[in-house]
Structure 1
Amino acid sequence: MPFRRGERWAWYARWYYPAFWIAHLAGGLPPGKDHVHQVVFILLSLARLLLPVRVFFPRLTTTA
């Protein structure tokens, strides 16, 4: 729910998922020896974080 409301701490907290898969990929950790699914999960989770970035960090507008 906080992620849908646009709360910044929720956006930062969601970085655990790509970090988890990057650590598994870099460390050669399980599951399995086929790392294609790890790369797919990394890309999907990064896309899920970067697409709504303007909701969490809106551009500052200046008034003249």
Structure 2
Amino acid sequence: MIGLRDKEIEARLENLAQKTGRSKSFYVRQALQEFLEDREDYLLGLARLEAGGRRVSLEEAEKELNGLES
């Protein structure tokens, strides 16, 4: 388990674990996994933009994605 120096976060984590019957490690693992997935997506997107990747607006992306449903 990771040691937390922030007593408020530690207390919240402990409270959540007790109320749900899950371990603190479960929630730390879940939070870390979500953070890493988000960070990887961000960094991959940034690298693509820096490499001159194609940019599209939200509306263009929605149109292209809606075309895939056919």
TM-score by length of 1: 0.41
- Larger relative contact order, structure 1 or 2 (CA cutoff 8 Å, min sep 6): 1
User: If each structure's helix is expressed as a fraction of its own residues, which one has the higher value?
Assistant: 2
Larger Rg: 2
TM-score by length of 2: 0.38
